[in-house]
Amino acid sequence: MTKTIAIANRKGGVGKTATAHAVGAGLRIRGYKVLLVDLDSQCNLTTALLGEDEEPELTSLDVLQRDCTASEAIIETGREDLLPASEALSVADKEIDGVGKEYRLKEALEELGSSYDYIIVDTPPALGVLTVNALTASDSLIIPAQADTDSLRGVIQLAQTVDVVRKYTNPRLTIEGILLTRYNSRTILSRDMRENLEAVASELGSVVYETPIRECTAIKEAKAMCIDVYTYAPKSNASLDYNALIDQITK
């Protein structure tokens, strides 16, 4: 049975794409069949798998507009399969409308049947139709967050959207956990904000993952090389920390 996980936060720059890529690659390395879905108009996840020069013929926007099926748009990369993004996703709130617009991704992914063990959905830093589609299609949600007040505010705003999604489009959605990224345990702010996030997580019926993702240049370097962090630097802090996350996802 396929498990679909959305990676989301209202705030940008918190490591959503890095987390989506690392989770997908980590699951694939452990033998699972994985599909990565890029819903962000910045196309960072798409670039991480395909490189800068390749422009997909069909994208997630085409799927959401029902111009093609998900299987027609999916690219087999030799690693994780990819439903790529398009810069045109920036106008998705205007282009995707009508009754049932929140269910477009869910319906498209259901057509894939049990082709994948895991589907990981990377979302834009906004709470519009794309993020709502991701939450409606997903079984659970991972919220990457940095130890700062803006990130905390983003978590709270996203939680409000989750409540609405649970009420109207996806009552089974769970918040799997809040993942601290770019973490530095030596700073007082990081320790204080972790306590604040743990309080918020408790209110949401969730947790802050025990192992944070430490600040690590290997993530940026692996992205530049268009490979996953485990292949690029298997002994790096990021590889160790994301492996701990994969342990919790698959247990």
Print the SS3 string covering 123-180.
Answer: CCCCCCHHHHHHHHHCCEEEEEECCCHHHHHHHHHHHHHHHHHHHHCCCCCEEEEEEE
**Domain contains 247:** no
What is the average pLDDT across 150-161?
Answer: 87
**Whole-number pLDDT of residue 189:** 61
Does residue 251 sit within a domain?
Answer: no
Q: Is residue 229 part of a domain?
A: yes
* Residue 89 predicted with pLDDT over 70: yes
pLDDT confidence tier of residue 199, bands split at 50, 70 and 90 = confident
Instruction: Give the confidence band of 188 by pLDDT, cuts at 50, 70, 90.
Output: low
Lowest mean pLDDT among 21-35, 59-73, 132-146, 181-195: 181-195
Domain annotation covers residue 250: no
Say how far residue 7 (Cα) sits from the centre of its chain.
3
% of the chain residues with pLDDT over 70: 97
Q: Which residue has the tokens 């702010």?
A: 189
Choose the weakest-confidence range: 12-16, 61-65, 70-74, 79-83: 12-16
Of 3-12, 81-90, 152-161, the one with minimum mean pLDDT is 152-161
235 domain-assigned: yes
In a domain, 219, yes or no: yes
Give the integer Cα–Cα distance in Å for 121 and 20.
7
CA torsion angle 50 53 56 61 (round to 10): 90
> What total of structural domains would you count in the chain?
1
Provide the pLDDT for residue 187.
65
| pLDDT at residue 251 tops 80 | yes
Alpha carbon 11 to its chain centroid, in Å, reads 13
Mean pLDDT for all residues in the chain: 92
Global confidence as pTM: 0.95
Q: What average pLDDT does the segment 90-107 reach?
A: 93
What pLDDT shows up at residue 12? 84
Please tell me the distance from the alpha carbon of residue 239 to that of residue 247, in angstroms, as a whole number: 12
Helix axes 16-29, 217-224, angle to 10 degrees: 80
241: Cα separation from own chain's centroid? 17
Tell me which of 96 and 11 has the higher pLDDT: 96
For 113-150, write each residue's pLDDT tens digit: 999 999 999 999 988 999 999 999 999 999 999 878 88
CATH number at residue 91: 3.40.50.300
Does residue 85 fall inside a structural domain? yes
Q: Which of 2-16, 60-74, 146-160 has the lowest mean pLDDT?
A: 146-160
What is the percent of the chain with per-residue pLDDT over 90, rounded to a whole number?
73
State which residues form the domain around 28.
Answer: 3-242
